[in-house]
Amino acid sequence: MYSPLFHTRRRQCQPTVFPALNFNAKADAEGLHEAMNRFGYNSEKLINIICHRDIEQRLKIVKEYKTLYGVGLEESLKSKLSGNMRKLVLALITPLPHFFAKELHDAMYGLGTTESVLIE
């Protein structure tokens, strides 16, 4: 018997962001620091680094940034970014279990729930 739900559960998913070739966490951490070191920030450089690395590489950059500059990348980004750019970049540097936990908490907090988040 064919079941679409069963079929989708068995389907192998493919990543949408692939690991960067010749990845260097130190160079990326330095690039992010440079992009945020000016008045404001260099959005093109931030996007090119953050959005072209997979989650494992982004987490290595976060760790390297803390080692190099003594302050967390998240704190540096929070001080420079705002609005949707801030939300996006912070979500991209958050470990997946923490990201999912926050999304679930936010979906259930307060009056009502956001069912679409719970289903996803």
What is the predicted pLDDT for the residue at 10? 56
What is the predicted pLDDT for the residue at 6? 39
**Which amino acid is residue 39, in one-letter code?**
F
Q: Single out the residue of 97, 101, 89, 99 nearest to residue 61, CA to CA.
A: 89
Q: Which CATH superfamily is domain 22-94 in?
A: Annexin (1.10.220.10)
What is the predicted pLDDT for the residue at 111? 75
**Which amino acid is residue 24, in one-letter code?**
N
**Structure pTM?**
0.77
Q: Single out the residue of 85, 31, 40, 38 nearest to residue 58, CA to CA.
A: 31
Q: What is the pLDDT along the chain (120 residues), one digit of tens a residue?
A: 333 343 445 566 676 788 899 999 999 999 999 999 867 788 999 999 999 999 999 999 999 999 999 999 999 999 999 999 999 999 999 988 888 888 787 778 877 777 776 676
